[in-house]
Amino acid sequence: MLLNKYKITTIVLALFVAGIALQGCHRTENADDQKDEKFQVTDSLLNSLLIDTVKEASALSQINLTGSIAPDESKMVKIFPMVSGVAQNIHVQLGDVVSKGQTLAVMRSSEMAGFTKDYISSEADVRSTKRAFESTQDLYKSGLASQKDFEQAQSDYQKAVAESKRAGAVININQSNSQGYLIKSPISGFVIEKNLTDNTQVRADNSQNLFTIADLSDVYVLINIYESDIASVQIGDPVKITTLSYPDKIFEGKIDKIYDMLDPDNKIVKARVKIFNPGNKLKPGMFANVTIKAKSGETLPVINTRALIFDNDKNYVIVVDGKAHVRIQEVDIAKRVEDRAYIRTGVKPGDRIVASRQVYLFESLKD
């Protein structure tokens, strides 16, 4: 009897264990089915995703340098004294905006008085010699004057006209009024240099300019390229510039000139970038931070950084293989430049990668 009870108990336990095993198998199968459903990428889901194509490009390297703002030399004028005298009535200060033809200062000048006298005298000579020439011409036609007298009168008149033109040109160059010699601005722009004050004695042979006027609608950025970076920078490389005064404002341009001279003290070469200067915000002498996108000479696959997934110190992308089939692919990034990533290994040009909701797909695929 006890033996029969033991057999019955054993059979019940065996059936119970088998039932649990079958239930576990059933749950495992259900889990596998759910997992398969989770990994399945339908055509409609794939069509809703943003897909990028891996391209091939010459890799760029980002070089950070410094520089300074300088005026455009083709739009800058240095004003030197044309006559000697004493300065008075300085009408402008450093940094002022001036227009073309505006009077900057006035000088009392004895030389200018001499120029005026010469011009008035030359005009009088023209009138006098003209009357003599016309009179001699009439006498010559009547046979009462010799050809020599006629030619002499004609020569005197021509010399007087030439002297009058010379004196007039001097007056036009050295403009004056009742107050004295006028120093005027030949262009519109800013006063970026001023070396003149009231009662300054000025000499015409002075090598120092009185004013410098610059049109700052365009300016140059002079970049300091260190010796180690010279080979990486070329004419035409795009440049982005920021200043301490406007840290959030980015000015863009391209290198249009690289100077051949190396500064022996600082071991730098200057490069030049012409920048459009709206509102004349950039002023000569300002410090500039410069970022150059230089070509490294290496050709690599390039993708937009939006497609990257960073997980456990590694970078991944989701590659689309065929219709409705995706997979995780680890990539080795050679370098990043703004929104572009250059890939050393992992993908090749022409590969299609997911560029939206890729993190969701990554988490689903890696489980």
Q: What is the pLDDT of residue 324?
A: 65
Q: What is the pLDDT of residue 193?
A: 92
Q: What is the pLDDT of residue 254?
A: 92
Q: Residue 109 phi/psi, 5° resolution?
A: -140, 125
> Which is more confident, 20 or 224?
224
Q: What is the pLDDT of residue 59?
A: 65
Asked if 59 contacts 295 with a C-beta cutoff of 8 angstroms, the reply is yes
Q: What is the pLDDT of residue 109?
A: 81
- pLDDT at residue 16 greater than cutoff 70: no
- pLDDT at residue 223 greater than cutoff 90: yes
Asked if 177 contacts 113 with a C-beta cutoff of 8 angstroms, the reply is no
User: How much is the pTM?
Assistant: 0.55
Q: What is the pLDDT of residue 189?
A: 92
Q: pLDDT tens, 283-331?
A: 889 999 999 887 766 778 889 999 999 998 999 999 988 766 888 999 9
- pLDDT at residue 161 greater than cutoff 70: yes
Q: Across residues 27-40, what is the average pLDDT?
A: 48
Q: What is the mean pLDDT of the chain?
A: 82
Q: Across residues 211-235, what is the average pLDDT?
A: 89
pLDDT confidence bin for 358, thresholds 50/70/90: confident
- pLDDT at residue 11 greater than cutoff 50: no
Residue 284 exposure: Cα atoms within 13 Å on the Cβ side:
20
Give CA angle at 279 (273, 282), nearest 5°: 40
What stretches of 99-164 adopt beta strand conformation (E)?
A: 103-108
Q: Which domains does the chain have, with CATH numbers?
A: 39-60+299-366 (2.40.420.20), 74-213 (2.40.50.100)
Q: How far is CA 311 from the centre of its chain?
A: 38
Reported as type and span, the H/E element at residue 359 is helix 358-366
Residue 272: other Cβ atoms inside 10 A: 19
Q: Across residues 62-85, what is the average pLDDT?
A: 89
Q: What is the pLDDT of residue 210?
A: 92
Two tokens at 67? 């520089």
Percent of the chain with pLDDT over 90: 34
Reported as type and span, the H/E element at residue 51 is strand 51-53
Q: What is the DSSP letter of 144?
A: S
Q: Kindly list the distances between the CA atom of residue 129 and the CA atoms of 28, 56, 144, in Å, as whole numbers in the listed order.
A: 125, 84, 19
